[in-house]
Amino acid sequence: MLQEASSTQPAAGSIPPDATAAPVPGMGGNTSAHALQQMGFDHLFQSFIHGENWVGFVVFLVLLIMSVMSWFYIVRNFLTNAMIRSRMDGVIRKFWDTPSAQEAVRFMEQQPKSEPFSKIALDCASAAAHHQRHEGSRLVEALNRSEFIDRALRQAVARESMRLETGLTLLATVGSAAPFVGLLGTVWGIYHALIGIGASGQASIDAVAGPVGEALIMTAIGLAVAIPAVLAYNFYVRANRVTYARFDEFAHDLHDFFATGSRVESSPAAAMPGARPAAAPAPAAKK
């Protein structure tokens, strides 16, 4: 019995069995946790600082510039549309409520320079006065008063419409191109991960966590830049379409007044068969 008991004792200098046992859960995961911490912006900016990934840095810089420019035009167009929407009904109503054409022109001259309806009205009044001053010249012989005013109004409406569209081309470009720019960063990040695997000789999470996280973040940044640009583009296209309709309506009334001396307004009686459109009173034209 004593011999059997002594045989169970470990030999001197031998390694205890427990020493080769698997590590306690939670202790062996330090390497994986450290690799996971490297995924994302931490690895992205560290690679930028150390100059390890210039392609990723260029892609990130392009996306940043796209985002800044798109948000600039988003805010700018929002303020422009808000100003026009809040003022246009009052400006048009006060214009037609003035007692004379001279007062109407003076009222429009007092409006801010960014007011589109005042610019359209002033261009129309200037064209009518120019035609009257140069009556009998070759220009007037080629175009009568109505055609001359119509041409001036078309140019004014086109100019103000183009001003409203400022930045829409950039928003459309950012909305369509930003996801592909982010995809370029994703492809390069995956390639970077494969290079890391080849250099380390093992496909451990330490070798691939950083580049893969960088690739995923590039995709997310590209989508984050594109989505607001697309939504803003669709919103402003719709808002501008409504404003264009008001431009055309106001220009039509201006043409009727400066060409004929009266503003034609539609009424329920005008829709009756055989009815003639009623001519509403308007400010007296300058002679």
Percent of the chain clearing pLDDT 90 (strictly above): 31
pLDDT computed for residue 40 by the predictor: 52
Beta strands in the chain (DSSP E): 263-264, 279-280
pLDDT at 133 over 60: yes
Residue 255 and residue 285 in contact, taking contact as beta carbons nearer than 8 Å: no
pLDDT computed for residue 257 by the predictor: 84
Is residue 129 domain-resident? yes
pLDDT at 287 over 50: no
pLDDT computed for residue 262 by the predictor: 61
Is residue 73 domain-resident? yes
Is residue 80 domain-resident? yes
Averaged pLDDT for residues 217-235: 94
Which of 64-68, 72-76, 184-188 comes out lowest in average pLDDT? Answer: 184-188
The count of domains in the chain is 1
Put simply, whether the predicted model's pTM sits higher than 0.85 gets the answer no
Is residue 44 domain-resident? yes
Which of 26-30, 86-90, 107-111, 164-168 comes out lowest in average pLDDT? Answer: 26-30
CA-CA distance, 206 to 212, in Å (whole number)? Answer: 11
Tokens of 242: 């409504």
CA-CA distance, 74 to 194, in Å (whole number)? Answer: 39
Give me the domain span that covers residue 88: 39-261
